[in-house]
Amino acid sequence: MKSMKILCCVTLLAICSTTTYSQVKFGATVFYGIGGVKNLGSIQKYYDLKKSQDSDILARDITNKQGSVFGIGGIISYQINEMFSLNSGLRFQKQNNDIEIYQKEIEDTDGSYRENNSVTTISISSLIIPITAKVRFGENSFKPFINGGLSFESRLSKTIDSDETRTDWDGTDEEFDYTNYTFSDKPLEGFNSTTLNFIVGAGVDYELDKGQVLFLAVNYTSNLSESELWSKNLNSNSISVGDNNRIFDQSDQKTIESSEGIKIDDWKSSSLTFSVGILF
């Protein structure tokens, strides 16, 4: 009973001490950076397996290429005391995730072979609600800080664009056939409509004379929930990296997982962004 009274007194003192300082600030931010698709290792593991099983496959690789991230948003900051604050708001973000796929395989015993090169862009537009804690250091107008937390992301649109070339070469390395396949703005049904993200970052605040706060920050964000990567609207020639091994084909991915034990349908995006903003 005594310990309960002590705990209540400590809690009351903490509330009173923070209430005397606490204030709410509103603001705006703009950010830009780079982003990409994570967890490509399982895809490469599958490619390596198929290459070991088929001597006609000379090369099969997948590469994550960094794409652009841009966004704007509003901020609400609850200042608990001079050092700590809780921050939220609403942001709009546009992120492009680029994937490059290459395959080279033998076509005939005369030495002829085929090369497939595919560059695919996954575009995601989202509304994001971050909830982060911020810790500031220093006594002067410039205050370095660290922050971290979670964000809830609602994806407004998810589309896929692709540009693939297929080149056939004869036994003397002379090109004798060239085909190009393209498509754009196909809806990406497999990607989750919502996801939870982890955020960590650092930056510096500059306090102005009238109470406004300018800030610069760098943040790393990563999806915590995985997505599938497929679309119902791709034709039979799209992303044909090795005949039926189209990585965006849902039925093929399920077959691979059940027969080989390799889960290639586990995609997460991440980003590194630089932001500037102001609090009033």
pLDDT in tens, 211-242: 899 999 999 999 998 887 766 655 444 443 33
Distances from the Cα of 221 to the Cα of 20, 155, 257, angstroms: 34, 15, 28
CA pair distance 151, 201, nearest whole angstrom: 13
Structure-block tokens of residue 45:
């593991």
Query: According to the model, what pLDDT value does residue 240 have?
Result: 39
Query: According to the model, what pLDDT value does residue 250 have?
Result: 54
Residue 113 lies in a domain: no
User: Which residue in 201, 191, 207, 75 sits closest to 139, CA to CA?
Assistant: 207
Give the side-chain half-sphere CA count within 13 A for 91: 27
Residue 266 lies in a domain: yes
Structure-block tokens of residue 85:
């604050």
Domain residues for the domain of 128 are 20-55+68-97+122-154+194-279
User: Which residue in 92, 101, 234 sits closest to 151, CA to CA?
Assistant: 92
Residue 90 sits in a domain whose CATH number is 2.40.160.20
Residue 103 lies in a domain: no
CB atoms within 10 A of CB 178: 10
Query: According to the model, what pLDDT value does residue 244 have?
Result: 41
Query: According to the model, what pLDDT value does residue 36 have?
Result: 86
Query: According to the model, what pLDDT value does residue 276 have?
Result: 98
Residue 116 lies in a domain: no
Helices (H), 120-188: none
How confident is the prediction for the chain on average, in pLDDT?
82
Residue 127 lies in a domain: yes
Contact 163, 171 (CB under 8 A): no
Give burial (CB, 10 Å; 0-12/13-18/19+) of 109: exposed
Q: Convert the pLDDT of each residue in 35-61 to its tens digit.
A: 988 766 677 777 788 788 888 889 888
Residue 201 pLDDT level (bands cut at 50, 70, 90): very high
pTM of the model: 0.82
Structure-block tokens of residue 262:
């390799």
User: Is 70 exceeded by the pLDDT of residue 273?
Assistant: yes
Q: What proportion of the chain, given as a percentage, has pLDDT over 70? A: 80
Query: According to the model, what pLDDT value does residue 60 have?
Result: 82
Structure-block tokens of residue 28:
């705006």
Three-class SS state of 208: coil
Please tell me the total count of domains within the chain.
1
Residue 24 lies in a domain: yes
Which has more pLDDT, 85 or 115? 85
Query: According to the model, what pLDDT value does residue 254 have?
Result: 67
Which has more pLDDT, 15 or 73? 73
User: Is 60 exceeded by the pLDDT of residue 136?
Assistant: yes
Residue 207 lies in a domain: yes
Query: According to the model, what pLDDT value does residue 142 have?
Result: 95
